Structure 1
Amino acid sequence: MRHELIIVGAGLAGVALAHALHVDGHAPRVLEARARCGGRILGVDGFDLGPSWVWPTLQPRLAAWITAHGLRSYEQASTGALQFEDADGRMQTYASGMAQEPPSQRLLGGSAALLVPLPALQRAGLIETGVSVRALHLGVEGVDVIAQGSDGTRRLQARRVALALPPRLIAAMAFDPPLPAALHAQLAALPTWMAGQAKFVARYAQPFWRAAGFSGTAFSQRGPIGELHDASLPDGRAALTGFIAWSASMRAACADLPGAIVAQLQRLFGSAAAQPLAVHVQDWALEEFTATPADSAAAPREHPDYAPIVLPEPWRARVLLAGSEVAPDFGGYLEGALQSASAAHAWLSAR
């Protein structure tokens, strides 16, 4: 069986592209290497362990997506004092806190709410998980997609292929004929945004920091937490969330990272932080379908300069790069994923 289109990757970009084509009456085949969909979107009980903030006033496609699907957002809690811990563990409290402009927003249901088209795509049988694409072979009338699943190696055929993946994962695929060496090097050099990072959520019975006059926002030069925010939900469930500043190798060497996190939360907010209901840690550097060793070795501190990448002939007519990191703006962000999906939909619709 030859498919009209195979989409590789069921993160937000792949899901949005599949949804647009499905609405048009097409039946794209979506292959996802993980056992779940969502890519870097990952939550637990409504709390985000992947991307969590949106800025609808700055991100038009995301704003339109939120409106079209009836999603709701709420402002990031920031009222109260800010804590700063220096490298020696000295604490400074800033009563004025940190006002964000424009204010960051969170989505009810977490970022997973953005995957609202997913159930319809799954009911239509368009998405298959646990299938990792390893190679692309270009033919006269299409592309042979070589994939590895639970049933072994399989070969699928498609007229066109959309790769809704980070560039480094694309560089790890085998292409026949090979990509030009310069292009392969370019793909391999582009960091996957947040791939080398780790994030945590510490859940509590009450937002005790608010009663003590703290915003829940904190920054530290000592770690393991580098940046911290209030992640409490509108329904009253309380949590603190943040990013681990330690490198991937330091995280791997820590025998009890959740314990180290709780110890630092106690330094920041006192003994009330000692008994979380749960601590969830997501180390993206350990995700083989997100990060490569290069992402862990040198995680960028500043946002990389992403830009659209078009494959050269003879690949150009058959294969399109459609992941967030190749978006014209907001590369690596949720907005970038929707931009790439929109551009891919336009490209496919014109052919």
Structure 2
Amino acid sequence: MLETAIIGGGLCGLALAAELEALGRDYCVFEARARLGGRVLSEPSEKAAMRVDLGPTWFWPETQPRIAKLVADLGLAHFPQHDEGAVLRLLDFDKRAERSDGESVHAGARRIVGGTASLIEALAAKIPADRIRHAHVVVAIKDCGDHIKLTLRTGEAETIVEARRVVLALPPRLVEQSIGFEPALDDHLTEALRETATWMAAEAKAVTAYDRPLWREAAASGNAYVTHQDAVFYEIFDACDAAGTGAALGAFLALTPALRESFAVGLPMLMGNQIGQIFGPELEQGELHFQDWAAEPFTCAARDLAPMAERPLYDNPYLRQAAWGGRLLFGGSETAGAAGGYMEGAIEAAQRLLRDITRFAPAKEKGMANEVALAAFGQWTAERQSQILAAYRTHLNRLLASSDKEIVTQRAMLATMEEVFADALAKLGELPFDMDGVAIAAGRSDLTPRILQNFDGFLQSLLDCVVKFNRTSCALSNFPGEDKLAKDYVQAILLDLAAAWREFCLSANAIFVAKTQAAAA
């Protein structure tokens, strides 16, 4: 049986797969498309003799350390986004664009030589070909207790795959819209999946290649904005290669998905006319590359087509919790705790998933040797973390039903973690660790830190879930200060949890020290 099934061969899924491959773990990537990369897409341009990006283009090393490190580790060359020259603004349909000098638009953004697809290709090169399945579309997922059964569509046929755990490294809305779950997912998780917008899913991007960058010769940066009501593009930027000899302009369309579909036949002419109006008529004609992501069923969900009033919010804690006792995990850039929607977010999500998966080291020998016992404890911890919100709600409801309704959030969270820690100590006492050769240094067992690492992010996960749950709780809306937690209240809660954590650490270590002493007696 497969250990880990990764659904989605985009940046997050491939970054995770490459790490699992390096660790010698068992996994397979299932990608719905015939290509890898997801929203990363680079097309060859004959005129510019380079590849142009129709998906993500930029990363920012100063504020996005994960993607910057990955690019460096893979040995990929990169270069600064060209911003030198005037910025143009087209404010009225029938007037010339206004020039503004001295503006820096992209704030230190950099681009990967050869296009962003070079990143995907470098990751894929680390993964054996037999670990990737193209054109496999997941339609159903069933929890079978100790494993998960996947139903995948491959053309007209269906394939069944069984795995110990499944990682869904694809946009949350697509998960909710296109996959049937048995049993159904928790209501809060389903809502989180449904309400998490897919970054850039309803966008369309065009890149037009030219013989030479005439805008640079006219002291323009290539950056332009169109703000009148008949805009075809809302933003244009220089998309030349590092040397500036491969000439191209990139642009994001202002037209809605419905209008793009209505104007499909004449859209290339409209795009050329607007570029010509801004930069000069000689640039109306070029080699056009166009990608409408709203027309991609493996990117854009039905809910993504609705206009957004503001930038989507990410960082939903429910999407970072495992379901089904740790057997079902959620990934993709939109699930990240930081930089959701960006390539940085995809790598952050992959690193979180790797931490979750590597809690469960595969057994290398029969019986319950230490590695197997540690893996069993890691599995137990993941299951408890997936149930943490339900446990909190149980304690909260008990307190709300009592006569003492003071600081109920603080007391419910503390009771939740004290219960988890007490059960964890009992679990450690049950597991038959082999203490022969386990050292004790300065009073601490060598096994203690390996046990404690299973709780990395546990308390933060609880806090994130509680904050989100309390905000939407009708019952807590009647208790000022409990529905929206003030900073001082959160600090008081964290102090309580820290004290409980310290007590657990000491008690867990005491169990191992006692086991070692008993084994030596």
TM-score (norm 1): 0.95
| One-letter identity of the residue aligned with 1:230 | D
Partner residue of 2:450?
Answer: none
* 1:91 CA drift (Å): 3.2
Which of 253, 258, 263 is 2:273 aligned to? Answer: 263
How far off is 1:93 after superposition?
A: 2.2
**In the alignment, structure 1 residue 19 sits paired with structure 2 residue 18:** yes
**Structure 2 residue corresponding to 1:295, chosen from 293, 304, 326:** 304
Counterpart residue number, 1:10: 9
Q: Does the 8 Å CA contact 2:192/2:319 hold for their aligned counterparts?
A: no
1:341 maps to amino acid: A
State the Cα RMSD in Å. 1.7
Contact 1:194/1:299, CA 8 A, preserved across alignment: no
- Which of residues 52, 55, 59 in structure 2 aligns to 1:54? 59
Q: Secondary structure at the match of 2:149?
A: strand
Contact 1:191/1:300 (8 A) holds in 2: no
Aligned residue in 2 for 1:204: 210
- Is 1:29 matched with 2:32? no
- Aligned pair in 2 of structure 1 residues 137, 94: CA closer, same or farther (>3 Å)? same
Q: What's 2:370 paired with? A: none
Structure 2 CA distance for partners of 1:110 and 1:300, relative to 1, 3 Å:
farther
Distance 1:234 1:18 in 2: 30
Give 1:57 shift: 1.1
Identify which of 75, 79, 86 aligns with 1:81: 86
2:237 corresponds to 1:229: yes
> What CA distance in whole angstroms lies between the structure 2 residues aligned with 1:87 and 1:156?
57
Q: Per chain length, whose mean CA-contact separation is higher, i.e. which structure has more relative contact order (CA < 8 Å, sep 6+)?
A: 1
Q: Distance between the aligned counterparts of 1:179 and 1:162, measured in 2?
A: 15
User: For residue 324 of structure 2, what is the aligned residue in structure 1?
Assistant: 315
Contact 1:196–1:299 at 8 Å: present in 2 too? no
Distance 1:312 1:101 in 2: 34
Q: Distance between the aligned counterparts of 1:102 and 1:87, measured in 2? A: 27
Change (3 A) 1:196 1:78: same
Distance 1:89 1:293 in 2: 36
Supply the distance in 1 between the matched residues of 2:97 and 2:321 (Cα, whole angstroms).
54
Question: In the alignment, is the contact (CA less than 8 A) between 2:314 and 2:335 conserved in 1?
Answer: no
Question: Aligned-pair distance for 1:90?
Answer: 2.8
Query: Retained in 2: the 8 A contact 1:84–1:93?
Result: yes
Question: Contact (CA 8 Å) 1:191, 1:299: kept in 2 or not?
Answer: no
Give the CA deviation at 1:305.
3.2
Higher strand share: 1
Match of residue 259 from structure 2: 250
Matched residues, percent identical? 34
Say if 1:38 and 1:112, in contact at 8 Å, map to a contact too: yes
Equivalent residue in structure 2 for 1:220, among 200, 207, 226:
226
Contact 2:322 2:329 in 1 (8 A): no
After TM superposition, the score normalised by the length of structure 2 is 0.65
What is residue 101 of structure 2 aligned with on the other side? Answer: 96
Paired residue for 2:155, among 141, 146, 150?
Answer: 150
Instruction: Give ranges in structure 2 of 5+ residues lacking alignment.
Output: 45-50, 361-521
Q: Give, in angstroms, the shift of residue 87 of structure 1.
A: 4.5
Match of 1:72 among 72, 77, 96: 77
Greater fraction of residues in helix: 2
- Indicate conservation of the 8 Å contact 1:43/1:111, yes or no: yes
Structure 2 CA distance for partners of 1:182 and 1:117, relative to 1, 3 Å: closer
Structure 1 unpaired stretches of 5+: none
Q: Give the match for residue 114 of structure 1.
A: 119
Pick closer, same or farther for the CA change 1:168–1:319 going to 2, 3 Å. Answer: same
1:183-224 deviation digits (Å, cap 9, x = unpaired):
212211111000000000000000011111211110002321
Q: 1:275 aligns with which of 281, 285, 290?
A: 285
1:182 Cα offset (Å)? 3.4
CA distance in 2, matches of 1:41, 1:216: 23
The alpha carbon displacement at 1:257 in A equals 1.3
Is this contact kept in 2: 1:5–1:160, CA < 8 A? yes
Aligned counterpart, 1:40: 39
Alpha-carbon separation, structure 2, partners of 1:144 and 1:100: 48
Q: Is the 8 A contact 1:284 1:291 kept in 2?
A: yes
- Map of 1:325 onto structure 2: 334
Among 358, 369, 372, which residue is 1:349 paired with? 358
Is this contact kept in 2: 1:197–1:299, CA < 8 A?
A: no
Change (3 A) 1:159 1:262: same
SS at match of 1:58: coil
Match of 2:185 in 1: 179
